[in-house]
Amino acid sequence: MRNFWDLEYGEVGFKFFGIYHYACLAIIFVFGIVLFKPWRERKNFRRFLALTPISLEMIRLVGVLVSGHYDSSYLPFHLCLIGSQFMAVDAFVDRKFIKACLYYLFMPAAILSLFTPGWNTVNKYSYVAIISWIIHGINAFYPIYLVLSKEYTPNLRDISYPIIFILVTLPIIKTLNKKLDANYYFIEEPYEGSALATIKDVFPNYVVGLFIVTVLVMVMTFFIYKLIIKIRKK
């Protein structure tokens, strides 16, 4: 049990693309496939799944507060945690803006986080690590469910919604980072092991480079969708 509650107990962190990492990705992939049918057929289950990440966020925050491991990084201002909040709203409100942000912005961010996790500085069997895997796994699959169920059909023009969201929230996040000595959206610097480090090396201005790459990823996400649709029609 100490492995679960103590963030610094035992083996802290894990090797990217090692056995543990691959095992977690495989488990998430299997659950992503298995959960689609009940998500599509049962409205209550859909709402349960949509509310799970934001509920786990609160449990994790309480956990670090009680255990004395709290710092500002656990507040719900990271991109993927905001994605969890959008998901919770989507379970009750049907808005294209929310679905477009989930698909074009929060899904790619979650997938990136699954492949280069930012929670590898704590005990890999702790509640913080496990909750982080679950949150990002659901964030990655939920928008795919929306597309597979035809509740959302990606449109290139819809990229304007997440772009507007970024431009509106970026100054707010920048202020929060300064006030709380935080790194929300990872706009202050890339986290260790992240692919974002390449952006910092390539672009003279890291934030501008991050924005450009984010928009390019959105465009790429749309064309991947179109390619899959084209292949399925053959």
User: What is the Cα–Cα distance from 138 to 32, expressed in whole angstroms?
Assistant: 8
Give the pLDDT confidence score for residue 3 in this predicted structure. Answer: 59
In a 3-state reduction of DSSP, which class is residue 134?
Answer: helix
Give the pLDDT confidence score for residue 78 in this predicted structure. Answer: 94
Mean pLDDT of 94-106: 96
Which amino acid makes up residue 51?
L
User: What is the Cα–Cα distance from 17 to 139, expressed in whole angstroms?
Assistant: 20
Q: Above 80 in pLDDT, residue 192?
A: no
Give the pLDDT confidence score for residue 10 in this predicted structure. Answer: 66
Give the pLDDT confidence score for residue 6 in this predicted structure. Answer: 61
Q: What's this model's pTM, rounded to 2 decimal places?
A: 0.92
Residue with tokens 């991109």: 79
Percent of residues, the chain, with pLDDT higher than 90:
74
Conformational region of residue 16, where left means phi above 0, alpha means psi within -120 to 50, and beta covers everything else: beta
Give the pLDDT confidence score for residue 52 in this predicted structure. Answer: 96
pLDDT in tens, 113-141: 999 998 888 888 888 999 999 999 999 99
pLDDT in tens, 133-170: 999 999 999 999 999 999 999 999 999 999 999 999 99
User: 107-115 vs 206-233: helix axis angle to the nearest 10?
Assistant: 100
3-state secondary structure 2-45: HHHHCCCCCCECCCCCCHHHHHHHHHHHHHHHHCHHHHHHCHHH
Picking from 17, 127, 38, 114, the residue whose alpha carbon sits closest to that of residue 74 is 127
Looking at per-residue pLDDT, the higher value among 197 and 13 belongs to 197
